[in-house]
Amino acid sequence: MNNKNRGKFIAFEGIDGSGKSTQIQLLSEKLLEEKIYFYTTMEPTDSPIGSLIHQIMTGRIKTDNKVIAGLFVADRLDHLLNDVNGIIGKINEGITVISDRYYFSSYAYHSIDMPMEWVIKANSQSSALLKPTVTVFIDVDPDVAVERIAKNRYQKELFEKKSRLIKVREKYYEAFDKLKDEEKVIIIDGNRSVSEIADDIWKEVAHYFE
């Protein structure tokens, strides 16, 4: 299949609570109206590796952060390559894929505990297999993100969450700068209303579907 007939791959990125799921839902509705074939997915995935990650993240299994970073590498490769619903298979069939998180999440979240270069290298098979047509980064002030996810949490937990999200946001910017010659990234101001953000995202991506 030539490149023109391949599906597009749109990766959504942002700190927790940035509004990715909300915007993916709205973009899906738009693609449906436009009669574009698409498939939405997310990382961590619901594969056995993804479910191990979920169990670690909810504290049911304890391990080191380096192990988690390695599991995300494996989960991502399975996400791309598995025979049942792998992203590469979908794209080769001409289906557009939208993913809630991809390798920039690893670059941002794991480089807090280990060198970003290591994380980028560890994900090099994924980036060689499939780079996003475009990465949409929804940029939200960590204060706003924490307010959005605040319900039912303790004060201390929220404070820890905010200081971590400030670092994650900085790491995202560091990664975008490092890879600016290789990756197409669109930064969207996510501190606005849901519909303003959705309109902006559509303005930026509509031309991929003409």
Per DSSP (E only), the strands in the chain are 9-13, 38-42, 96-100, 134-139, 185-189
Element holding 170 (H helix, E strand): helix 155-178
Binding segment (CB under 6 A) for ligand ADP, from list 18-26, 58-66, 91-99, 117-125: 18-26
Q: How far is the CB of 17 from ligand ADP (least distance, A)?
A: 5
Task: Report if residue 19 touches ligand ADP, rule: CB under 6 A.
Answer: yes
Contacting residue, 23, 43, 52, 130, with ligand TYD by CB under 6 A? 43
Contact present, 9 and 87 (Cβ < 8 Å): yes
State the DSSP H helix or E strand holding residue 56, giving kind and residue range, or none if neither: helix 48-57
Cα-only R_g, the chain:
17
Q: Closer CB to ligand ADP, residue 21 or residue 65?
A: 21
Q: Which range, of 23-31, 81-89, 103-111, 184-192, touches ligand TYD by CB under 6 A?
A: 103-111
The partner in contact with residue 38, picked from ligand ADP, ligand TYD, none with C-beta cut-offs of 5 to 8 angstroms by kind, is none
21 binds ligand ADP (CB under 6 A): yes
The distance of closest approach from Cβ of residue 25 to ligand TYD in the complex, given in angstroms and rounded to an integer, is 12
Which residue among 7, 8, 13, 20 contacts ligand ADP (CB under 6 A)?
20
Q: Cα–Cα distances in Å, from 173 out to 18, 71, 195, 200, 209?
A: 15, 23, 25, 20, 27
**Of the candidate residues 4, 193, 207, 210, the single one contacting ligand ADP (CB under 6 A):** 193
Q: How far apart are CA 154 and CA 48, in angstroms?
A: 31
